[in-house]
Amino acid sequence: MADQPKANDSPVHTGSVAMCNVCRGTDLTEFVDYRRFRRVASDCRPWPAGGHVQVCQHCGCVLKLTDATFLADIAKIYSSYEIYHQSNGMEQAVFEQASGTGASRSNRMLTELQARHPLPTSGRMLDIGCGNGVMLRAFNKISPQWKLAGAELNERYRPIVEAIPMVERLYSCPPPEIPGQFNIITMVHSLEHIIGPIDFLKTVRGRLAPGGLLMVQVPNLPANPFEIVVADHTSHFTLSSLRGLIEQAGYEILHISDAWVHKELSVIAHVTDRQAAPVAAAPAEVEKSTRIVRENLRWLGETVAAAKATMRQGKAGLFGTSIAATWLAAELEGLGDFFVDEDPSRPGKPFMMRQILAPAQVPQGSRVFVGLPPKVANAICRRLTRRGVEYVAPPSLD
């Protein structure tokens, strides 16, 4: 692990003047223990330790301190993203793998939408934070006559996005400057990146046509301990904080679920003229969020220790090459001989100074540490362990 300013799993007050994303309260408590961990960028690059995770003592919202250091960090992450993915084939594979995940996520979400709000034959749809157009492509498949648009501050995927059938164009301006209105606006894995999310969502209201629907999907903090170490996520949502944020921005929630997509929170909402009541003090939510973050940090520490122990027992590697494995590999500080990936496009390529192997290529007598949330990890271990190759699960998360 990186520098340890203080071995302490208790949150401490920092006296920061930062503001809660949901209730705009300023009584925020920091988890100092977070500072000892390295981080990972959301495009699967290891990122140095730093960053401050806080819990709002009024409503329980978990958020990063968006100070000058944080702003510099995310500017660096977003500006180098393009170089990273264009530099060679290895990074291109990361990109394709990510879009594969995104495609299944988008499809699941659209299925849930269709089941509750059957879409008319035609309409206009906008995807905010459209990236390379995964959601737009999925939407075009189910509703081929809808006119589509993407919004993305970065221009790098413009040709890819604008080549998707029915996409009018990609807008790189803020939402209020996008012309016209839309019947559906989606935000898949973008709200958690946005600084000042309530004000942002308020600006989106004017882009929804009467009766239009907003569909949001963000990572579910309680379901994924690795969520907290993603350097460029500013909000870490629970069902309660996501609900609070969307209501405060002037929407009425029609559906909210942590079950539509594994490890994700999903919302369907529409604009309401009713003013949301101020966020009430929620000591139970504060207690719950505090417990979740503390438990997740404890588990991450134990998982690093368990992975190191596995690597020291002989020839050993890490399972996966995504967010969790990237983070864990950096924390292993050089330990570990290889990565194992079931995605057929990955084996044979180098990743973080090690080779990526297919499960069948893992040498006899070696171990593979599966650094994923325990439920997922246990299933992988049961499925892949074979004679002479042991798959090792992380500690339990109870």
Q: How far is the CB of 244 from Zn ion (least distance, A)?
A: 8
Q: How far is the CB of 286 from Zn ion (least distance, A)?
A: 9
Helix (H) or strand (E) run with residue 242 in it: helix 239-248
Q: How far is the CB of 237 from Zn ion (least distance, A)?
A: 12
- 25 is an interface residue for Zn ion by CB under 5 A: yes
Q: Is 345 exposed, middle or buried (0-12, 13-18, 19+ CB in 10 A)?
A: middle
Is the CB of residue 126 less than 8 Å from the CB of residue 178? yes
- 328 is an interface residue for Zn ion by CB under 5 A: no
- 61 is an interface residue for Zn ion by CB under 5 A: yes
Q: How far is the CB of 22 from Zn ion (least distance, A)?
A: 5
Q: Which is nearer to Zn ion, 20 or 170 (CB)?
A: 20
- 359 is an interface residue for Zn ion by CB under 5 A: no
- Of the candidate spans 55-63, 137-145, 162-170, 291-299, the one that interacts with Zn ion by CB under 5 A turns out to be 55-63
User: Hey, which residues does 390 pair with through a beta bridge?
Assistant: 367
Q: Which of 20, 149, 221, 286 binds Zn ion (CB under 5 A)?
A: 20
User: Hey, which residues does 53 pair with through a beta bridge?
Assistant: 64
> What does the block give as tokens for 167?
């996409």
> What does the block give as tokens for 397?
């998360």
Q: Which of 56, 282, 311, 325 binds Zn ion (CB under 5 A)?
A: 56
> What does the block give as tokens for 367?
């171990």
Residues numbered 200 to 219 that lie near Zn ion (CB under 5 A) are none
Q: Which is nearer to Zn ion, 16 or 92 (CB)?
A: 16
Q: Which is nearer to Zn ion, 198 or 215 (CB)?
A: 198
> What does the block give as tokens for 312?
């020291």
Give the whole-angstrom CA distance, residue 398 versus residue 393.
14
- Of the candidate spans 61-69, 105-113, 144-152, 265-273, the one that interacts with Zn ion by CB under 5 A turns out to be 61-69
- Of the candidate spans 31-39, 51-59, 247-255, 381-389, the one that interacts with Zn ion by CB under 5 A turns out to be 51-59
- 55 is an interface residue for Zn ion by CB under 5 A: no
For 364: left if phi > 0, alpha if psi spans -120 to 50, otherwise beta; the answer is: beta
Q: Which of 44, 49, 59, 130 binds Zn ion (CB under 5 A)?
A: 59
Q: Which of 23, 77, 384, 393 binds Zn ion (CB under 5 A)?
A: 23
User: Hey, which residues does 316 pair with through a beta bridge?
Assistant: 367
- Of the candidate spans 15-23, 73-81, 190-198, 207-215, the one that interacts with Zn ion by CB under 5 A turns out to be 15-23
DSSP state of 386: B
83 three-state secondary structure: helix
Nearest to 48, CA basis, from 336, 333, 367 = 333
User: Hey, which residues does 230 pair with through a beta bridge?
Assistant: 40
Q: Which is nearer to Zn ion, 61 or 325 (CB)?
A: 61
**Number of DSSP helices (H) and strands (E) in the chain, helices first:** 9, 20
Size of the site for Zn ion (CB under 5 A): 8
Q: Which is nearer to Zn ion, 279 or 325 (CB)?
A: 279
Is the CB of residue 112 less than 8 Å from the CB of residue 260? yes
Residues that bind Zn ion (CB under 5 A): 20, 22-23, 25, 56, 58-59, 61
